[in-house]
Amino acid sequence: MEITQTQNGEVLIFAIQGKLDSLTSKTFEGRLIPPIEQGNKKILLDFSEMDYISSAGLRVLLLAARLLSDSDGKIALCGLKPSIKSVFDIAGFSAVFPIFPSLPEALDELKK
């Protein structure tokens, strides 16, 4: 798994490449959670290059969402492959996380 972190205005963007499984999720947690705890309120997760997500990966998303909801922050996801979307649908995450087809659309939403 590779994580590419960029910034667009006040939006922090994390692009995930590869598999988010029980092993790599710890790395992801270490990259995603501290910036939120330090006060970043707008997080965009670009999953267009992500091939797999396990329940450990979902847990990190949930952790981020909880922290952001405590701090009146916002999170958005974009570019989910069909297999990833199906995991989100089964777990009920599709109804909780704002999901956009492309990065510009997700950015627009976060910048509102």
Binding site for other proteins (CB under 8 A): 22, 55-56, 58-60, 62-63, 66, 86, 89-93, 95-96
Nearest CB to other proteins, comparing residues 58 and 103: 58
CB atoms within 10 A of CB 39: 8
Minimum CB separation of residue 41 from other proteins in Å reads 19
CA atoms of 57 and 16, how far apart (whole Å): 11
CA atoms of 48 and 111, how far apart (whole Å): 20
Nearest CB to other proteins, comparing residues 91 and 103: 91
